[in-house]
Structure 1
Amino acid sequence: MAFWGKILGFIFGFMFFKIPGAILGLVVGHFFDKAYSQDFNQLGGFGRFFTDQNSVKQQAIFFHSLFSSLGHLAKSDGQVTSREIQIATNLMDEMRLTGEARREAQDAFREGKARDFPVVETLKGLYENCHGRRDILQVFLEILIQAAFADGQLSQEEYNVLEKVASPLGFRRRDLDYLISMFEAELRFRQRGGASNAGGGNQRQRQQRAYSDTQTLSDAYKILGVSQSDDEKVIKRAYRKRMAEHHPDKLISKGLPQQAMEIAKQKAQDIQSAYELIKEKRGF
């Protein structure tokens, strides 16, 4: 139940106009609290999915923005495929969205597919409700990048949508390209075991192993956002910065929904693995 409007209205009313002002402030505060509560109720299933009323609005907006943007991304080439629907479904499963919250996610996905869907305005609202917190907004953008790569490649149409999404979130084109490059390195880095452990002695398998040996370390540097020429101090600083951007406890404290945390955890694991490889190769 919202009550801060009545309390503040009473206090400020009494300060300026004594008892009559306190009564007037109480009445005004009551209407403010009522409107505020209605705004929460209009969040539907997403709002009811969370129990912490202090963050319910921000988290509900996060999920609505996410799944409507996914729908917009899926529609970017003119047709939503069964594969793209499955990607959204898998994300709902991974985030453990059930019941009314899942129906809200499905509705948001369908809403985002509309040709006239106001994606920029929607994401401006997300930016405001996240108070411009770059780490939260970066995780949001990284989820969309991961979804765009689910079929193994990024089409020009999908890139155009990602660029349109990135702008109202405060990311420039070069920021987007940087995040895409990092994600591509992460994809190769995660798959390195299969190529490097391939058996047999034919030329193609040897090429796979050689590619893995030469590219794995390079990708590790890309994941940290550094170059091989950087010294130990720069690499350690970059590692700490990247881990801080995806540290689960920090992200939750800043408003990232618990249900979106798996993406951040995977990123943190990649960053940790990349750093360990670099440490091993460089001996520090």
Structure 2
Amino acid sequence: MRIWGKVFGFIIGFMFGRFFGAFLGLWLGHAYDKRQGLASLMRKGSERQAIFFNATFAVMGHMAKASGRVTENDIRIATMLMDQMKLTGQSRIDAQEAFRHGRQADFDLTKELEQFRHVTQGRAELSQMFLEIQIQTALSDGELHANEKQILSIIANKLGMASQLDALLARWQAEFSHHQSPQGNKMPLTDAYVMLGLSESSSDQEIKRAYRKLMNEHHPDKLVAKGLPEEMMALAKTKAQDIQAAYECIKTSRGMR
């Protein structure tokens, strides 16, 4: 809580205008403290977004090297993600630089994750979004290599999400299968259940509850407010659309309202 603006405002106001001046100074000091507090929050928000952005592409670069060397396909996947985020100009240069940094032999994954965890503490949705982006990267070539799984396990452990990793992997594998399916936009019912973390034996109420929970966790505006870089809003929107598609698929199959 900021109080020094109020303190100095009260003292100076009292010196020049006794009690009336003191109260006027107190009010002006309160306005100053509030403005400074908002400015501080904005700076912290910007810092959090910058660290999220850089860590995402640095760890992505580290993931790309997990198989032993960075392939043309790894670079293509990173480029596709930058295209999906519509990164241009300095933002794209920063992403490419972070990606190259993550590929270096001396890249310290633990240190990167500790810094990320520090600025996202208490924001579980951001940690989950970060992990999901790395899962998406690992699965983009259609398979999960042992070294990639190991890196994902390290990330999940550092972010306190070890118990959720297998479920998230299953959801993303179902989502990847859906996007690669020759059926186009038609989602297989089995994939729809997996994407919501459910099974065909789940009740209608459980399905609605899981859908609302996932939509709340992946709401783009909410994630940006918590510190997700605005450039990554497109990723959150895609995820929310897939959750919606899975829910509609299950609703239709069950005749739910």
State the TM-score, normalized to the length of structure 1.
Answer: 0.73
Residue number in structure 2 paired with 1:107: 97
Cα contact 2:60–2:102 (8 A) shared by 1 = yes
Residue number in structure 2 paired with 1:190: 179
Cα separation, 1, equivalents of 2:243 and 2:235: 13
Q: Which amino acid aligns with 2:225?
A: S
Tell me by how many angstroms 1:251 deviates. 1.3
Q: What is the CA deviation profile of residues 15-38 of structure 1, one whole-angstrom value per residue up to 9, with x for unaligned ones?
A: 9xxx9xxxxxxxxxxxxx9xxx9x
Q: What is the CA deviation profile of residues 159-191 of structure 1, one whole-angstrom value per residue up to 9, with x for unaligned ones?
A: 11111122211210x411111100111122334
Cα separation, 1, equivalents of 2:177 and 2:87: 29
Structure 2 gaps, min length 5: 16-35
Cα separation, 1, equivalents of 2:95 and 2:184: 40
Q: Which amino acid aligns with 2:53?
A: F
Cα separation, 2, equivalents of 1:112 and 1:75: 9
Residue number in structure 1 paired with 2:119: 129
1:226 to 181, 195, 198: 198
Cα separation, 1, equivalents of 2:254 and 2:65: 46
Q: Which amino acid aligns with 1:182?
A: R
2:215 to 217, 227, 243: 243
Residue number in structure 2 paired with 1:73: 63
Tell me by how many angstroms 1:93 deviates. 2.4
User: What is the RMSD computed on CA atoms of the aligned residues?
Assistant: 2.9
Residue number in structure 1 paired with 2:159: 169
Residue number in structure 2 paired with 1:206: none
- Structure 1 residues 98-107 or 221-230, which shifts more? 98-107
Residue number in structure 2 paired with 1:158: 148
Structure 1 gaps, min length 5: 20-32, 38-51, 198-211
Share of identical aligned residues, percent?
45
Cα contact 2:171–2:194 (8 A) shared by 1 = yes
Cα separation, 2, equivalents of 1:135 and 1:196: 29
The runs of at least 4 consecutive aligned structure 1 residues that moved more than 3 Å come to 7-15
Q: What is the CA deviation profile of residues 15-74 of structure 1, one whole-angstrom value per residue up to 9, with x for unaligned ones?
A: 9xxx9xxxxxxxxxxxxx9xxx9xxxxxxxxxxxxxx64521111001110111011101
- Structure 1 residues 145-154 or 114-123, which shifts more? 114-123
Alignment: residue pair count? 231
Q: Which amino acid aligns with 1:188?
A: S
Q: Which has the higher contact order (CA 8 A, sep 6+)?
A: 2
Cα separation, 2, equivalents of 1:150 and 1:126: 23
Cα separation, 1, equivalents of 2:87 and 2:172: 25
Residue number in structure 2 paired with 1:216: 188
Cα separation, 2, equivalents of 1:162 and 1:10: 47
Cα contact 1:132–1:169 (8 A) shared by 2 = no
What SS does structure 2 have at the residue aligned with 1:230? coil
Tell me if 1:264 matches 2:236: yes
Residue number in structure 2 paired with 1:139: 129
Q: Which amino acid aligns with 2:201?
A: S
Cα contact 2:139–2:176 (8 A) shared by 1 = no
What SS does structure 1 have at the residue aligned with 2:188? helix
Call closer, same or farther: CA 1:12–1:89 in 2, change over 3 Å.
farther
Call closer, same or farther: CA 1:10–1:196 in 2, change over 3 Å.
closer
State the TM-score, normalized to the length of structure 2.
Answer: 0.80
Cα contact 2:46–2:227 (8 A) shared by 1 = no
Residue number in structure 1 paired with 2:110: 120
Cα separation, 1, equivalents of 2:86 and 2:44: 21
2:79 to 89, 101, 111: 89
